[in-house]
Amino acid sequence: MFNRAHFLTYPSPITQKPPGPSTSRHIYANRSTGEMWPRGLMDKAPDFESGDCSIGLMAAEYVRGRTEQARMYRRNIVRYCELAQVLVFRDISMRTRRRFPTLDTVVAAGFMMPHEKDRYDEIQYKYSKYWVPFQWAFSLTYEARKKGLIESDYYQVVVQDEIKKFRTGLAWICNYDWVPIPIMYPQLVCLAVHTYFLVCLLARQYVVSEHADNKTEVSFPNFKLIF
């Protein structure tokens, strides 16, 4: 089991966040669907109400204290969410996979501590273990509440809700990755719609002949164009 006290012994040495996850998320959202595009932006842009920046704001606001312990609680809550983000994008982005080919490179970048990697590897699970860092983050909010760094249960729920929103956003990205859309799909749909419209324009023309009941000559189907 993960020891919640270990994060105080091994502070996070993150000095610079690599450009891989955010950039790859932007590219992946752009090539998938229109619905996914705003989700990628909300995870990436700091001015939106969702994403890792929002988690940092809530942690800084509700995990009170100027001690080293309080600072490490705030820092590691955000770091665990960033760790989950890196783990997700290692599986869906080639650029992120090249940046972090193994978990050792994730440890070297500061997203995961060596003792955390050992406990992560100890978990025997045949599916992806994206949920583990989020579980660690929730555990820290619980410990912070017990130690009085979070003043009320309501503030704890607020921080946990932001973590859940971030987790839901990553889950949506994983869902879109499971159903890949061909790159030419938008172009094919556009061509099919225009072709169908052209065929309808030609098919709705009146047949003008000497024996036709309707003698009115209509050169362009205006009503078909409108509706």
pLDDT tens digits, residue range 61-92?
999 999 999 999 999 999 999 999 999 999 98
- Rounded to an integer, what distance in angstroms lies between the CA atom of residue 204 and that of residue 221? 7
Picking from 119-128, 158-167, 180-189, which range would have the lowest pLDDT averaged per residue? 180-189
What pLDDT, on the 0 to 100 scale, is given for residue 56? 87
Which comes out higher in pLDDT, residue 51 or 158? 158
Per-domain residue ranges of the chain: 6-178, 185-226
Question: What is the Cα 153 distance to its own chain's centre?
Answer: 27
- Closest-CA residue to 43 (of 186, 145, 171, 147): 171
Band of pLDDT at residue 115, cut at 50, 70 and 90: very high
Higher pLDDT, 203 or 82: 82
Spatial CB neighbours of 77, under 8 Å, sequence gap ≥ 6: 55, 59, 63, 137, 140, 141, 159, 163
- In the block, tokens 């193994």 appear at 102
Question: Per residue in 26-67, pLDDT tens?
Answer: 433 344 334 444 444 444 443 444 455 788 889 999 999 999
Mean of the per-residue pLDDT values for the chain? 75
